[in-house]
Amino acid sequence: MSVWDDLPGQEHAVEQLRRAAESGSPTHAWLMTGPPGSGRSNAARAFAAALLCENTSGNLGCGECSACRTVLADSNPDVSTVVTENVTYMIEDVRELITKAQDRPASGKWRVIIMEDADRMTERTTNVLLKAIEEPPPHSLWILCAPSPADVLVTIRSRCRNVNLRVPSRESVTELLIRRDGLSPEQADFAARVSQGHIGIARRLARSEETRKRRETTVRIPFALKTASDAVRAAGTLVDLATAEATSSADDRAAEEERGLRTAFGIGADATIPPQLRSQFKQIEETRKRRARRGIHDSLDRSLLDVATVYRDVLTLQLETNEELINEHMREPLQDFADKAQPTETLARIDAIGLARHHIAANVNPLMAVEAMMVALISHHSNYPASRGARS
Ligand SMILES: [Zn+2]
């Protein structure tokens, strides 16, 4: 076993990282890019483990020594992983990281700072970070993660070595879910297909019936869009589902953190929290709120991508490319849908979804953006009987 095992389909990137770790003098700043779910943060953590690995037989990133195990468990004092709970990083957060990067590593090897979502930085924050990357202390190594090199400012990009992860193939995700998560081949295959190579979503879908139900409700929305009031209702449903998912996932994490804190201080599950510890518990609550807020954004974006898979399948059927459908289990209604519209209309709908995603990312009120999208999704469709009449 090794720390590279859980990176399906990324042989090229793994080779690059492994060589850098073995060289003993890797570049001090790395930019790990790849679409969401391709395993950017896993790759960053594996690289950090290989850099700190204590194995002496040449198998760096052995996965067995205490350095490898603690890095993978996120509990190694020399590795800091930061992820913003807000829509963008706060400048204070980045200053704190830079201070941390100055500390000598306890292991004597490297102090590694993994910054997830490096694309979520304002230009001012980026400039603060830039200085740190330009003149790094000899023992510090930065790994920035972003969807693509274009998502970070060119000043940062030009100072980092880029490692690009691919969308893992459906087969490799299926194989991972069976091997690592113990899923049945059928469960793993369904989850790998509908998640389109997003490993985290595939795992959630495979494990949680609630998540599967939410996705099913989402992908059936396009079939029920006949009138403007349907569109408004559907937009409400989609935003509610995203809110529910974000809230429940933030609640789960907060409950877990509270349990951990209670155990650490020896406070029973139902015992009252002593006044001197209240601020620490209050912090968990603050973090929960922030996570839930940001989670709505992320989960709404995923829902929109799910809706887009429906039109992608419709287009596949219209163009008769014989490609596999993402939503194979809905083939019949999809075929029906495809027969009743033109590929140009389908493309316009896919564009409308892209526009809504863009607006939400730019902080437009989510409900308004989704409503506008839903209306665009029906307007073509409801015109359809008239236009067919005209054509025939
Ligand atoms: Zn090791």
**pLDDT digit string (tens) for the chain, length 392 residues:** 889 988 888 999 999 999 999 998 889 999 999 987 788 888 999 999 999 999 988 788 999 999 998 888 778 889 988 877 666 788 888 888 888 888 889 887 899 999 988 988 888 888 889 888 888 888 999 999 998 999 898 989 999 999 999 888 889 999 989 988 888 999 899 999 998 888 888 888 888 888 889 999 999 999 989 999 999 999 999 999 999 888 887 887 788 778 877 877 788 888 888 888 888 788 788 878 877 877 888 889 989 999 999 999 999 999 999 888 999 999 999 999 999 989 999 999 999 999 999 999 888 899 999 999 999 998 544 444 444 434 43
Q: 181 and 105 in one domain?
A: no
**How are strands ordered across the β-sheet holding 140-146?**
79-82, 111-115, 140-146, 29-33, 161-164
Distance 37 CA to ligand 1 centre (A): 25
CB 135 within 8 Å of CB 105:
no
Q: Tokens 């004092």 label which residue?
A: 77
CB 165 within 8 Å of CB 40:
yes
Q: In angstroms, how far is the first alpha carbon of the chain from the final one? A: 64
Burial annotation 61-71 (CB, 10 A radius, 16+ → b, else e): bbbebebbebb
Q: 190 and 154 in one domain?
A: no
Compute, in degrees rounded to 10, the torsion defined by CA atoms 148, 152, 157, 159: -140
How many CA atoms does the CB half-sphere of 265 hold within 13 Å? 18
Q: 243 and 215 in one domain?
A: no
Distance 49 CA to ligand 1 centre (A): 7
| pLDDT (0 to 100) of residue 379 | 54
Q: 371 and 271 in one domain?
A: yes
Phi and psi (nearest 5°) for 79?
-120, 125
Here the tokens at position 237 are: 């449903």
Distance 47 CA to ligand 1 centre (A): 11
Q: Cβ of 386: how many Cβ atoms within 10 Å? A: 9
Distance 1 CA to ligand 1 centre (A): 10
Beta bridge partner(s), residue 140: 111
Whether 233 maps to a domain, the answer reads: yes
Distance 64 CA to ligand 1 centre (A): 5
**Helix count (H) and strand count (E) of the chain?**
15, 5
Q: Give the structural domain span for 203.
A: 170-223
For 287, the enclosing helix (H) or strand (E) is helix 278-319
Q: 213 and 263 in one domain?
A: no
Whether 255 maps to a domain, the answer reads: yes
Distance 121 CA to ligand 1 centre (A): 33
Distance 379 CA to ligand 1 centre (A): 58
Q: 365 and 278 in one domain?
A: yes
Q: What is the CATH number of the domain that holds 132?
A: 3.40.50.300
| pLDDT (0 to 100) of residue 384 | 42
Q: 195 and 210 in one domain?
A: yes
Q: 236 and 134 in one domain?
A: no
